[in-house]
Amino acid sequence: MPGDSGAGAGSVRGYLLHRAKPHLPPWLAVGATGLAGALGNWRWGDSAAAGVGLTLASVALTGATWWAGKSTSQQRRLHSAITVAAGSAWITAACLAGPTAGPLDDLYLMGGPVVALSWNVRMILRHNADPSGENSDKGLLEKVGLARAQIREARVEPNRVTAPVALAPGEQTNDDVSKALGRIASALDLPTSAVRYHPEPDSNRRGDLVIVPEDMLAEVVEWEGPSNLGGSIAEPLVIGRYDDGAPLVVWLPGDPDAGRNSTHVLVAGGTGSGKGDTALNLLTEVLSRRDVIVWFSDPKAFQDFAPLRPGLDWAAEGGTQTEVMVAAVQEVIPARTRWLGEHGYRQWVPQAAQQQTSAEHTCRADGRACGCAGMPFLVTWFEEAANTLRALGDDAFTGIAQEARSAGISLIVSLQRPSYDQMSTSTRASLPSVIALGCDPRDEGFCLPDEVLAAGAHPGAWGNRRPGYCYVVSPGIAEDRYPSPGRTRRFTHRAVPVMELLATWAQRNGATADPVTAGAAAGVAGTAYTGRTTPDAPQQPARLRAVSEEDDMQHGGPLVDPEDAHIDPEADLPDALDGDDAPIFAPEPGHKPSPEEARELFARALQEFEENGQMIVGPKDFMDWCDRHNLSRPWVSARLKEAALDGRLEPTNTTGRWRIVPTLTAA
Ligand SMILES: Nc1ncnc2c1ncn2[C@@H]1O[C@H](COP(=O)(O)OP(=O)(O)OP(=O)(O)O)[C@@H](O)[C@H]1O
């Protein structure tokens, strides 16, 4: 229809006009120049003075253009100055001689369109330039003080841009980029943690600038269950996710094929940073594996960990219980290392946890398979460990940490306030892995290595406002991941029944301590170490279990002396209190025991402490006992020292505190 076509033609014309509009000004300027030349000739054609004035004006205008173009690019400045010089020279000539005189009209007809077109071309090129191309990058780098750096072709993935940066040789270093990260984030209007820099290891002027614009960790993810129930502890432990959705994993045992040692982990974060839930992420993963046992010390009386407690091989509630556990760890290290060595393992591998049926891993001199029980990996965990570490001393802890790694043991240590006044530099250095949650900005240097901070990691920016956000530095993780934030999963009341089920699973299907570990632990801790029990079996002191298992293993059945064969091992022992010794335990008031009686009483008191699992004692534990038996504390102190000389007690790191050596090993 005519109307339609009219409208169509109108809209096409409108469109073209709209597109052409930005390119019209140079042409209008050419027209205006021609007109100015014609009018000027009509007015000043015969005036010599006007000739001088016009020439000076033309030179001044060109100079002013050059000066005004100082802040633009060199190219634009030159283009503008040439245009103005050509235009003003033509106008001057046209005014004085006439626009059609000599070659002036041809110059106008040819030169005018050329100049106008050159500006059009320039504009078109600018519009078509890739906004992520070098120009705009240069703008960004210039803004942040890295003017002569270059950005090469960027790799764009969903929510992640990786741009290789080449810095000006001899002028800029990778450090300059690290220092500029905050300004880059500001220029891009992003949080600091969204911009990171990974320097190339073999160059100090090249690296990758990584920008993760959207915080994909903002969404809270709840824990729903372990990632790999029944798997090996050597497989990755999944504790959350990275900001690009990749799983956040750690490995505790080493892997000889990958040249990786086993590691110890520091869980560091300020109050409210989500440390408790992070520990639950890790502990649930560990407990869901088939070849690991866990010794766990928690001075907060298992407030957060209660549902998992039945799955632990040993649980200590801080104080002396933890002291005994630490002493036991010291004792099991050489025993386990020896066992691993005897069985041809240079470090713990999953195969070590199985019964030893291969001739390659035998402790028998004749080279035949030995059939020894396997040795599960051991995770020893110290929650809120500052006091324990202080009591233990730096040298002792560093020694334990160093030797534990070849004994198939990982230490996990959590700190309430991650800072140097909680843990010394050398102790910190013995923990190669860290899960660094939000903290005070002043403590960042304590939590993370300098290179990771320089690459953009910034846990101090989170404080306690981003619970569960963390950086993980640990062997096995690609180093360029270290500065990428991750987030652990949250535990709510919905997780409790799942954790209880998991603990029951661990009781029934998880590993139990091997005879070597249980024997060494019971040798230090006596009845304080029971080993994990199953839900349906009564608790049996691990010491007994270890001994009987060892005997069974070596002799193919329980070892019983022929004269004891009639004794029922399950029957109760006769109660000592009912025997002839009764008066000793019920002293007459005011009766002062003879020196011999007193020594016997003291020996019995130690025995009682041992039976009750209280393995660390000092004079203050004997206060009531002294009153009851009319004996003095100095007398007790002297007896304690004597007992240490006899080998019944061992000194601890605290003056006046002694560790009872269980009678089984003292004998
Ligand atoms: N990954 C997570 N995602 C979301 N919320 C979390 C996460 N982890 C912990 N939270 C929440 O953050 C709060 C603090 O967590 P939590 O108690 O674990 O911190 P904490 O560091 O152990 O503190 P404190 O040292 O005081 O015990 C809790 O309300 C918890 O539910």
Choose the final residue of a domain: 101, 128, 155. 128
pLDDT at 499: 96
Does residue 274 have its Cβ closer than 6 Å to ligand 1?
Answer: yes
pLDDT at 569: 45
Cα angle value 119/121/122 (rounded, 5°)? 65
Residue 12 domain flag: no
pLDDT at 549: 46
Residue 229 domain flag: no
pLDDT tens readout for residues 616-630: 888 888 888 888 888
- The mean-pLDDT minimum among 39-48, 189-198, 603-612 falls in 39-48
Annotated binding site: 269-276
pLDDT tens readout for residues 98-113: 888 888 888 899 888 8
Do residue 402 and residue 545 come from a single domain? no
Alpha carbon of 555 to ligand 1 centroid (Å): 52
Alpha carbon of 303 to ligand 1 centroid (Å): 13
- DSSP three-state, residue 643: helix
Domain of residue 207, residue span:
134-211
pLDDT at 243: 86
Q: For residues 258 and 251, is the Cβ–Cβ distance under 8 A?
A: no
Do residue 344 and residue 459 come from a single domain? yes
- In DSSP notation, 600-641 reads HHHHHHHHHHHHTT--EE-GGGGHHHHHHHT--HHHHHHHHH
Judged against a pLDDT cut of 90, whether residue 560 lies above it is answered with no
pLDDT at 443: 92
Instruction: Report the C-alpha dihedral over residues 176, 182, 188, 191, rounded to 10 degrees.
Output: 150
Alpha carbon of 490 to ligand 1 centroid (Å): 7
Does residue 468 have its Cβ closer than 6 Å to ligand 1?
Answer: yes
Alpha carbon of 475 to ligand 1 centroid (Å): 26
Distance CA 152, CA 129 (A): 15
The 10 Å Cβ neighbour count of residue 123 is 13
Judged against a pLDDT cut of 70, whether residue 159 lies above it is answered with yes
Residue 457 domain flag: yes
The 10 Å Cβ neighbour count of residue 64 is 12
Distance CA 604, CA 601 (A): 5
Q: For residues 302 and 375, is the Cβ–Cβ distance under 8 A?
A: no
Annotated binding site for ATP: 269-276
| More confident: 350 or 56 | 350
What is the CATH classification number for the domain harbouring 600? Answer: 1.10.10
Q: Which atom of ligand 1 has the smallest separation from the CA of 488?
A: 1
Alpha carbon of 491 to ligand 1 centroid (Å): 8
Does residue 277 have its Cβ closer than 6 Å to ligand 1?
Answer: yes
Does residue 303 have its Cβ closer than 6 Å to ligand 1?
Answer: no
- The mean-pLDDT minimum among 318-332, 440-454, 563-577 falls in 563-577
In this structure, what are the phi and psi dihedrals at residue 98, rounded to the nearest 5 degrees? 105, 140
Q: For residues 267 and 282, is the Cβ–Cβ distance under 8 A?
A: yes
Judged against a pLDDT cut of 90, whether residue 416 lies above it is answered with no
Nearest to 379 by CA among 604, 532, 495, 569: 532
Do residue 498 and residue 548 come from a single domain? no
Alpha-carbon dihedral sign for residues 41, 42, 44, 45: positive
Q: Which atom of ligand 1 has the smallest separation from the CA of 468?
A: 1
What is the CATH classification number for the domain harbouring 193? Answer: 3.30.980.40
Do residue 372 and residue 414 come from a single domain? yes
Do residue 410 and residue 434 come from a single domain? yes
Do residue 421 and residue 312 come from a single domain? yes
- The mean-pLDDT minimum among 115-119, 236-240, 443-447, 588-592 falls in 588-592
Judged against a pLDDT cut of 60, whether residue 566 lies above it is answered with no
Do residue 183 and residue 105 come from a single domain? no
pLDDT band (50, 70, 90) for residue 131: very low
Does residue 276 have its Cβ closer than 6 Å to ligand 1?
Answer: yes
The arithmetic mean of pLDDT across residues 309-325, rounded, is: 90
Does residue 487 have its Cβ closer than 6 Å to ligand 1?
Answer: yes
pLDDT band (50, 70, 90) for residue 546: very low
Read off the DSSP letter of residue 572. P
Q: For residues 432 and 264, is the Cβ–Cβ distance under 8 A?
A: yes
Average pLDDT, the chain: 84
Read off the DSSP letter of residue 374. P
pLDDT at 511: 94
Distance CA 67, CA 667 (A): 100
Q: Which of 248, 277, 414, 435 to mutate to test the pocket of ligand 1 (most atoms within 8 A of CB)?
A: 277
pLDDT at 543: 43
Residue 565 domain flag: no
Does residue 220 have its Cβ closer than 6 Å to ligand 1?
Answer: yes
Distance CA 70, CA 83 (A): 16
Do residue 464 and residue 381 come from a single domain? yes
Q: Which residues pair with 268 in a beta bridge?
A: 415, 436
Judged against a pLDDT cut of 90, whether residue 545 lies above it is answered with no
Do residue 481 and residue 341 come from a single domain? yes
pLDDT band (50, 70, 90) for residue 583: very low
Alpha carbon of 280 to ligand 1 centroid (Å): 11
Residue 574 domain flag: no
Do residue 177 and residue 199 come from a single domain? yes
Residue 342 domain flag: yes
Domain count, the chain: 5
pLDDT band (50, 70, 90) for residue 17: confident
Residue 367 domain flag: yes
pLDDT tens readout for residues 442-452: 999 999 999 99
Do residue 406 and residue 492 come from a single domain? yes
Alpha carbon of 381 to ligand 1 centroid (Å): 19
pLDDT tens readout for residues 132-145: 444 445 577 777 77
Do residue 276 and residue 373 come from a single domain? yes
Q: Which atom of ligand 1 has the smallest separation from the CA of 469?
A: 1
Does residue 489 have its Cβ closer than 6 Å to ligand 1?
Answer: yes
What is the CATH classification number for the domain harbouring 327? Answer: 3.40.50.300
pLDDT at 564: 45
Judged against a pLDDT cut of 70, whether residue 415 lies above it is answered with yes
Read off the DSSP letter of residue 256. G
pLDDT at 536: 57
Does residue 298 have its Cβ closer than 6 Å to ligand 1?
Answer: no
- The mean-pLDDT minimum among 166-170, 182-186, 545-549 falls in 545-549
| More confident: 136 or 84 | 84
Alpha carbon nearest to ligand 1 atom 9, residue = 274
Q: Which residues pair with 378 in a beta bridge?
A: 293, 409
Residue 232 domain flag: no
Does residue 269 have its Cβ closer than 6 Å to ligand 1?
Answer: yes
Alpha carbon nearest to ligand 1 atom 26, residue = 271
The 10 Å Cβ neighbour count of residue 160 is 16
| More confident: 105 or 665 | 105
pLDDT at 150: 84
Does residue 466 have its Cβ closer than 6 Å to ligand 1?
Answer: no
Does residue 639 have its Cβ closer than 6 Å to ligand 1?
Answer: no
Q: For the chain, what is the radius of gyration of the CA atoms?
A: 41
